[in-house]
A and B are shown apart, each in its own frame.
Chain A
Amino acid sequence: MIPAGSNVGHVLRAVVRAPTGAAALGAVTLLIVLAIAGPIMWGSQARTMDVARGGEGSSPEHLFGTDRLGRDILARTLTAARLSLGLALAATATAAVIGFPFGAVISVLGGRARAVGLRVIEILLAFPPILLAIFVTAIVGPGAHGAVIAIGIAFAPNFARLANTLAATAAGRDYVASARVIGIGTHRLLTRYIVPNIADTLSISIFNAVGSSIIAVSSLSFLGLGVQAPQFDWGSMLTEGVHSLYVMPAAALAPAAVIAIAGLSTGFLGEALARAMNPLLWTAPDGASPAVVAAPARAPVAAPGGPRVPAGERPLLEIEGLTVEFPTPRAITPVRDVSLTLKKGEIVGVVGESGSGKSLTALAIAQLVPYPGTVTARVLCLRGEDLRHASPRVLGTEVAMIFQDPMSSLNPALRIGLQLIEASQVHRGLDRAAAWQMAVARMRDVHIPAPEARMRQYPHEFSGGMRQRAMIAMALMNAPSLIIADEPTTALDVTVQAQIIDVLHEINRTHGAAVLLISHDIGVIAEICTRVLVMYAGRIVEDADLATILRAPAHPYAQALIAAVPTLDLDRARPMDAIPGRPPDLDALPVGCAYAPRCPLAIARCRTEEPPLEDLPGGRRVACWVARDRLLEHHPG
């Protein structure tokens, strides 16, 4: 597809709609009119001297007063528009004429010559343009022509780099290659495919360059190196004005204001044009961006019927009716009415496809749901304390997270040791030495060799598996009662995966922390979990012992998941089962059971009524009409 660029009317409408676009377009139009009409209308008035009335303030005759020689400042400012803008345009054209060919030629040169050319551009770009301009002025001498050449040369490196980048990228794009393949001629290729796609970049750069040129030429004139008397532009008027700033500030402020307006509006128009031509590039993705919003504070009292509390001991983690909602762009509810409990020291797996809400459930427990997501729950308690109102200390010590990608989850700018000890220093008041000693011990627990030396290293000096071990050691630092491991092995090699799982298992035994292990891989979960929660489209659809899930899954989705696991005794003649269909879109969930469209067993009721998650015989919970009937039939009563 060719991005829009040809439809002038469309682009103009888009420019005017932009907040600064309309104002900038108006200002630029006014400037152009002024440049044409200014000298005709006010030219003679601007040159009429009346020394007797020099340096006067504002009067009906001279709105902005007069300069030293009694000339009307307003008339001079308006008249100077033509020369100021004309010189800026000439300077921009000069820069383009020098810069574009230079950059284009470099882009087609061979390796070494190209490298040298690019380096030259880069070095020239490092010099402030005004220094380059003064350098050139020293050669060609002060004056209007000198200013045009000087600013032209000073801005040429910008154009050279731009031309070079554009030439290199435009020709290499996929759609140009495919256009070539289907036999579109070079001319058509250039006019229909390449030019429209670089035109936006070109137009913004030229507009910005004109804006910068207005300012640069003015600054040269201001320094006395540009336009010389009796000619006058805004820059040279400003110099005169500044000399008499104390007596008649208007003589300086009028040209200064006009330069600022001209420079800014030209630049803003360039930006607005670019935005209008290529909206994708400029508009921030709407609402694709989330942070923690305090969950609506509900009384942390257990709802009637509360969580399933086994007789005797209260569970470590109790969650009931956990729901996560995102208001934008279209309201979605990626986690719906999730209820679960975790006993002390238990390892529970959460399994499901991506988008099933398992990671957000984990983040919601740790109160880390990204903005603008909101978390609601009837019960969300750890050790009987409501996590929504828990202090940072409780959250920072009782709950620890292990994330998926150890490559990106450790801060690259900080040493491993510091990242390990900081939470203990903050939450447990340990001094540096004590925290360090403990970190060394935790690094040993996860079998990192030479822990002391390793802690002085940066994450990039660790392998992926070692980083994940360090993450686990970090999670152990505050002796948490719950570790939430969100896909801790997914980013790792298969051999390393097994080691990490072993480490998790071991620390569960030695430290007694409960583990909520989230994975899309039931194989990983089968290694260490005692209980498994199966999630689909934001809900728990089955909750049962590992053995039960593996041998006799009740929910059709759980059955499909288990069937999709390759096993050693797999009959290789039989194609492996894949779950047919796709997970549903969260913003378009079907009425009834979310799995029904993919379910081979679905009955009419499944498509009209969503099955609740019910306690069923065999110590499991299942949310499925068909499975419910079957299980109740086998175990009546």
Chain B
Amino acid sequence: MRGFLLRRAGSLGIVLAALLFASFLIVRLIPGDPARTIAGLDASQEDVQRIRVALGLDKPLLVQFATYARRAVRLDFGRSFVTNEPVTTLIGDRLPKTVQLAAVALLLVMVLSVPLGMAAGAFTREGRHRRAEVMFAAVTSAGGALPEFLASTFLAFVFAVWLQWLPVAGSDERLAIVLPAVAISLRPIAVLARIVRVETLNVLAQDYIRTARSKRLPARLLYLRHTLPNVLTAALTIGGLLFTGLLGGAVIVENVFAWPGLGTAVVQGVLSRDYPVIQGVILMLGIAVVLVNTLVDVLLGLVDPRSVIRTA
């Protein structure tokens, strides 16, 4: 168990270092003279020089990285070129908004896809109800292919413009989170429900389910106690990537619904060439992805009683 956690922590460290370096490279990889590109072609020589110094571009590469890393570890990414506000402040404002959105979406995914997938699996087990199976497959594969920005557009049109039930933009109203969260979660719900159905079928075909049936347990115990844990471990192993996908979805959907999170910040940053903001936000999003991934891995290690880790 400890060995497993240590290995996980070690690889987490390496990936975080790589992320730090990648975010550092964003500015250095800009073709031509980064300072000139950032300042714009009509900028004065002084402005270009100012940006060069502000970004530390006038020093040797290794020194640059050392400085960048030292500051980044203290969460200091400098000040926004546009607002002159510290990037840390911006992240402090925006990060909770993105986390809130992703968390609500995650909740929706777990609460909806697992029961849906299991119900579909139980209903179509052993080749029963072929038609329902075909319908389920069609709906989930269409849902799984519908990108977040289209889902957002359709949802906004139906619920905000047409029915006028929900607000379409911002985060001030209580219900404003509903549409963006639903838009992010639709695709993962479809994909995970599909995976859960297949895993449910697999589990229901196992000998131990036959044993449980031979004991004439009520359906509640058969499905919740004997089937669900085995479905979940298998489904999470395959579906772990979906959780990081939620963050990608959030970045896009925030822009549709003007949700003031990291996603709107990074897109604004790219459009206005605000590199301190870009670096800080991309590093934050990257760290979030890596942490979520590691968390899923560790959870699986803890949950699955068969894993070697548990017995060691």
Chain A contact residues, CB within 8 Å of chain B:
19-20, 123, 125-131, 134-135, 137-142, 211, 215, 218-219, 222-225, 238, 241-242, 245-246, 249, 252-253, 256, 259-260, 263-264, 267-268, 271, 284, 287-291, 366, 368, 370-372, 392-393, 395-396, 399-401, 403, 405, 408-414, 418, 422-423, 426-427, 458, 460-461, 471, 474
| CB-CB under 8 A for A413 and B233, given A123-B15, A131-B248, A408-B206 | yes
In the complex, what residues of B have CB within 8 A of residue A260's CB?
146, 150
Give 5 A-B contacts (CB < 8 Å), ordered by A residue.
Answer: A128-B247, A131-B289, A134-B282, A371-B127, A410-B208
Chain B interface residues (CB < 8 Å from chain A): 15, 18, 22, 25-26, 29-31, 37, 125-128, 134, 138, 141-142, 145-150, 153-154, 156-157, 160-161, 168, 206-218, 221, 225-226, 229-230, 233, 241, 244-245, 247-249, 251-252, 255-256, 266-267, 269-271, 273, 275, 278, 282, 285-286, 289-290, 293, 304-306, 311
Closest to A289 in B: B127
Complex CA distance for A372 and B125, rounded to whole angstroms: 11
Please name all residues of chain B whose beta carbon is closer than 8 Å to the beta carbon of A129 when the two chains form the complex.
248
**A400: B residues at CB distance < 8 A:** 214
Contact between A423 and B217, CB atoms less than 8 A apart? yes
How distant is B300 from chain A, measured CB to nearest CB, in Å? 13
A408-B207, A410-B208 known; A372 vs B282 contact (CB < 8 Å):
no
With the chains together, A460 CA to B312 CA distance in Å? Answer: 13
Q: Given the complex of chains A and B, what is the CA–CA distance between A268 and B282 in angstroms?
A: 33
A372-B130 Cα distance, complex, nearest whole Å? 13
The answer to whether A411 touches B293 (Cβ under 8 A) is no
Rounded to whole angstroms, the CA-CA distance of A242 and B253 in the bound complex is 12
A134 and B270 contact, Cβ closer than 8 Å, known pairs A249-B157, A368-B213: yes
Give 5 A-B pairs besides A223-B252, A371-B127, A410-B208 with Cβ atoms closer than 8 angstroms.
A129-B248, A224-B271, A241-B153, A412-B230, A422-B217
Which 6 residue pairs of A and B lie closest in terms of their CB atoms, listed nearest first? A128-B248, A396-B216, A289-B127, A392-B216, A408-B207, A413-B229
Bound-state Cα–Cα, A177 to B197, Å = 38
A249 to B286, CA, bound (A): 35
Give the residues in chain A near B247, CB-CB below 8 Å.
128, 131
Known: A127-B289, A408-B208. A137 touches B270 (CB 8 A): yes
Contact A393 B216 (CB under 8 A): yes
Report chain B residues within 8 Å CB of A287. Answer: 127
CB neighbours (8 Å) of A252 from chain B are 153, 157
Residues of A within 8 A of B304 (CB): 413
Task: Tell me the nearest residue of chain A to B157, going by C-beta.
Answer: A249
Q: Given the interface contacts A246-B161, A408-B206, A411-B230, does A267 sit within 8 Å of B267 by beta carbon? A: no
Chain A residue contacts of B18, Cβ below 8 A: 123
Q: Are B161 and A211 in contact (CB under 8 A)?
A: no
Query: Known interface pairs A123-B15, A238-B153. Does A426 touch B211 (Cβ–Cβ under 8 Å)?
Result: no
Q: A223-B267, A411-B208 are in contact. Are A427 and B286 (CB under 8 A)?
A: no
A138 CA to B282 CA in the complex, in Å? 10
Given A242-B256, A368-B214: A224 in contact with B267 (beta carbons within 8 A): yes
A370 touches B126 (CB 8 A): yes
Bound state CA distance, A418 and B211, in angstroms? Answer: 13
* A128 closest partner in B (C-beta): B248
Residue of A nearest to B124 (CB): A289
CB pair A403 B210 closer than 8 Å: yes
Nearest opposing residue in chain B for A245, CB measure: B161
Bound CA–CA A338/B297 (angstroms): 53
Point out the residues of chain A lying under 8 angstroms from B278, CB to CB. 138
Q: How far is the CA of A249 from the CA of B161 in the complex (A)?
A: 8
Chain A residue nearest in CB terms to B248: A128
Contact A219 B208 (CB under 8 A): no
- Shortest distance in angstroms between A619's beta carbon and chain B's nearest beta carbon? 33
Return A483 CB to nearest CB of chain B, in Å: 11
Task: Give every chain B residue within 8 A of A134 (Cβ-Cβ).
Answer: 251, 266-267, 270, 282
User: Across the interface, which residues of B come within 8 angstroms of A399, CB to CB?
Assistant: 214
State the CA gap A390–B96 with chains docked (Å): 58
Contact status B126-A289, CB under 8 Å: yes
Write out the residue numbers on chain A whose beta carbons fall within 8 Å of the beta carbon of B209: 411
* Contact status A412-B305, CB under 8 Å: yes
When C-beta atoms are compared, the residue in chain A nearest to B231 turns out to be A413
Which residue of chain B lies nearest to A222 when distances are taken between CB atoms in the complex? B149
**A188 to chain B: closest CB distance in Å?**
38
| CB-based contact A409/B210 at 8 Å | yes
Task: Answer whether A225 and B271 are a contact pair too, CB < 8 Å, given A249-B161, A368-B214, A426-B217.
Answer: yes
Separation of A241 and B208 alpha carbons in the complex (Å): 55
Q: For residue B271, which residues in chain A have a CB less than 8 angstroms away from its CB? A: 142, 224-225
Contacts A219-B252, A458-B305 given; does A128 touch B244 at CB 8 Å: yes
Flag if A219 contacts B147 (CB, 8 Å).
yes
